[in-house]
Structure 1
Amino acid sequence: MTELRIDKTSYGMTSPMGSDDAYLVCLNFRMQTAHELWCDGRSVCSMAYEAGTTYLLDLRRDPFAYIGDPLHSLYFYMPRRAIGEVSEDLGGSSVGDIALQPGECIEDSIIMSIGQALLPILRNPSTFHQPLVDHLLQGLCAYLASNFGGPSTASSMVKGTLAPWQQRLVTQMMRERLFEGISVAELAEACGLSAGALVRGFKKSTGVPPHQWLLSRRVDLALELMADPDASLADVAFDAGFSDQSHFSRVFTQKMGVTPGLWRKSLAFGRKVEAA
């Protein structure tokens, strides 16, 4: 488990969380009015959530998020294997998944109570009691298995989509070559596919072709760079990997609905309001 606090606004995009056969159970102590979740390279949830709610991140789906407001959350790492084992110990069939949709928030007094019991233990090392922590975490795992467990969907794949490992590999390669770009042929070779099959499979998996996915990640980077009021839009365009400011402006406006200049003015206005 990990406690995370972010006290500033407009933190931006989180780093990729890696790939694992596990969940992160996210218990939120502060409300978020500006929050968006991506899984498998596509936006799956864009909504506010209240303080006291819980949602899940499926680490098999390469999740990352945009955080707009100050954040205070407690994250529990739950391997799917552990959830299945505890469900069998309780006398039920082996549970494969937690039956919550990506970004779906629930208010649950049991999860909140376990989190509140763990917070003072985390904050005061002198009171840390490993058997108590283990007991509380095992109880949370059993509670999730009993109340939110569902059948495994790991083996279900939509025909024509990329395999999970292929999608993870392609998105990782594009992130690593965000500035200079990468050819479809290179991505296809890494996946053992033809260029056409790679493009079709990626679009069916994520909803967009590889080039559009890459442009969206460049816009994400540009949003972070634009938080610096001293950075010119020309510098932002270059540092985010766009060919020139005109190209940056076209892509940004298409994806965000406003020009980069208007977006920056809204950031400046927000800073003035906070200062007042």
Structure 2
Amino acid sequence: MRVNSIEDEFSSRMLDDPGSGEAHMYCGAYGDRLGRSFHLSNPPVLHSQTRRGVRLAVTEVRIDQSGYGMTSPMGNDDAYLVCLNMRKQSTHELWCDGRSVCSTSYDGGTTYVLDLRRDPIAYISDPMHSLYFYMPRQAIGEASVELGKTRIIDLAIQPDQCFPDTIINSIGQTLLPIFNRATAAKQTLVDHLLQGLCTYMASTYGGSSERPEIVRGALAPWQQRQVTQMMRERVFEGISINEMAEACGLSAGALARGFKKSTGMSPHQWLLSHRVDLALELMADPDVSLAEIAFNTGFSDQSHFSRVFTQKMGVAPGAWRKSLANNKRVEAA
């Protein structure tokens, strides 16, 4: 049975996930995956990993025209994007969790940080040139332990903060000439710089430790990760609230209340938001109809898809797709 509306959540006791392929699409916001968020193909990317094998990466994103518009979601990931702005922007608008958190300008050489757990989306008005450093929280925790500190799990930087940092800027400037000209000999330098930046972020901007204060009634961090991972992994066969509650050692009611306390939304609302993220990627293909997108992302019909999409994005799917087509025409001109 498919859930058709938020109000149906507990009467049906069933959540079902988007179509297959999502795990691949949300496999790290770097390289081609990050490029799709900006409607770019194969942006330059450099890779490394920590000593324990956690992926690190930096992607160069360049947009040469003005009035580009909205990005697509960058994926729901337990990681940060540390953005180094190489070019001044007169307007910087950012949404997290569907709400506006920043509307300002920033200078070249400044940095801001995106928490990928908060579903960031940005509006781009001016030509842009930025480096996006992909930094999983697991890597930050590993770096903090190697520094002899309590394991850090967060960066204490709010999404509306845009600040100059000479270390981050210097690392970015050093990496720029290596993009598209990477060699095995240069990989050692890339490793040192990306791993060094991870250590620097942990030591300079590290926030809460691995023992955060638990909000009364909220899920424990491991329970929240468990529930969201289960919803991501299950496809059209669906997953019941009872099944997720059992995995967390809770009753169904306690799970629902705790999840909303932790995330600000019910499990079903979280799932609907996640489906819209997947739909935004599929909409980049003009040959796929909105009805097909609705079906392939798990919505009951196109009307349900349109209603949920408009609620989250503030514009109907057809208008969003039209803006994508206009962006492509401008880019090709």
Query: What is the TM-score normalised by the length of structure 1?
Result: 0.73
- Cα drift, residue 224 of structure 1: 1.8
Q: Deviations over 1:92-121 (max 9, x none)?
A: x86846432356332212320132124445
CA distance in 2, matches of 1:57, 1:273: 27
Structure 1 pair 139/232, CA: closer, same or farther in 2 (3 Å)?
closer
CA contact (8 A) 1:27 1:54 kept: yes
CA distance in 2, matches of 1:74, 1:261: 30
CA distance in 2, matches of 1:184, 1:2: 36
Where in structure 2 are the equivalents of 1:130-169 lying within 5 Å? 130=188, 134=192, 138=196, 141=199, 145=203, 147-149=204-206, 152=209, 154-169=211-226
- Cα drift, residue 258 of structure 1: 2.6
- Paired AA for residue 74 in structure 2: T
Q: Does 1:5 align with 2:85?
A: no
- Cα drift, residue 73 of structure 1: 1.6
Aligned twin of 1:232: 289
Which segments of 5 or more consecutive residues in structure 1 lack a partner in the other structure? none
CA contact (8 A) 1:62 1:168 kept: no
Structure 1 pair 48/171, CA: closer, same or farther in 2 (3 Å)?
farther
CA distance in 1, matches of 2:74, 2:280: 13
Aligned twin of 1:201: 258
- Cα drift, residue 240 of structure 1: 1.4
Moved more, 218-227 or 177-186: 177-186
Aligned twin of 2:143: 82
Cα RMSD (Å) of the superposition? 3.9
Which segments of 5 or more consecutive residues in structure 2 lack a partner in the other structure? 1-55
Aligned counterpart for 1:73 among listed residues 123, 131, 136: 131
CA contact (8 A) 2:93 2:100 kept: no
CA contact (8 A) 1:121 1:129 kept: no
Secondary structure in structure 2 of the residue aligned to 1:13: coil
Aligned counterpart for 2:74 among listed residues 14, 19, 24: 14
CA distance in 1, matches of 2:122, 2:303: 28
CA distance in 1, matches of 2:129, 2:239: 35
CA distance in 1, matches of 2:235, 2:161: 30
CA distance in 1, matches of 2:246, 2:191: 47
CA contact (8 A) 2:92 2:102 kept: no
CA contact (8 A) 2:218 2:259 kept: yes
Percentage of matched positions with identical amino acids: 51
CA contact (8 A) 1:44 1:102 kept: no
The structure whose RCO (Cα within 8 Å, separation 6+) is larger is 2
Moved more, 211-220 or 152-161: 152-161
Secondary structure in structure 2 of the residue aligned to 1:80: helix
- Paired AA for residue 176 in structure 1: E
- Cα drift, residue 179 of structure 1: 4.4
- Cα drift, residue 203 of structure 1: 0.4
Aligned twin of 2:39: none
Q: Deviations over 1:206-248 (max 9, x none)?
A: 1011111111111122222222222222111111111111222
- Paired AA for residue 209 in structure 1: S
- Cα drift, residue 192 of structure 1: 1.3
- Cα drift, residue 44 of structure 1: 8.4
CA distance in 1, matches of 2:198, 2:244: 41
- Cα drift, residue 186 of structure 1: 1.7
CA distance in 2, matches of 1:204, 1:248: 26
- Paired AA for residue 57 in structure 2: T
Corresponding residue pairs, total:
262
- Paired AA for residue 141 in structure 1: T
- Cα drift, residue 4 of structure 1: 1.1
Query: What is the TM-score normalised by the length of structure 2?
Result: 0.62
Where in structure 2 are the equivalents of 1:21-170 lying within 5 Å? 25-29=82-86, 36-37=95-96, 45=101, 50=106, 51-56=108-113, 62=117, 65-66=120-121, 72-75=130-133, 77=135, 79-83=140-144, 86=147, 96=152, 98-102=155-159, 104-120=161-177, 123-125=181-183, 128=186, 130=188, 134=192, 138=196, 141=199, 145=203, 147-149=204-206, 152=209, 154-170=211-227
Moved more, 261-270 or 48-57: 48-57
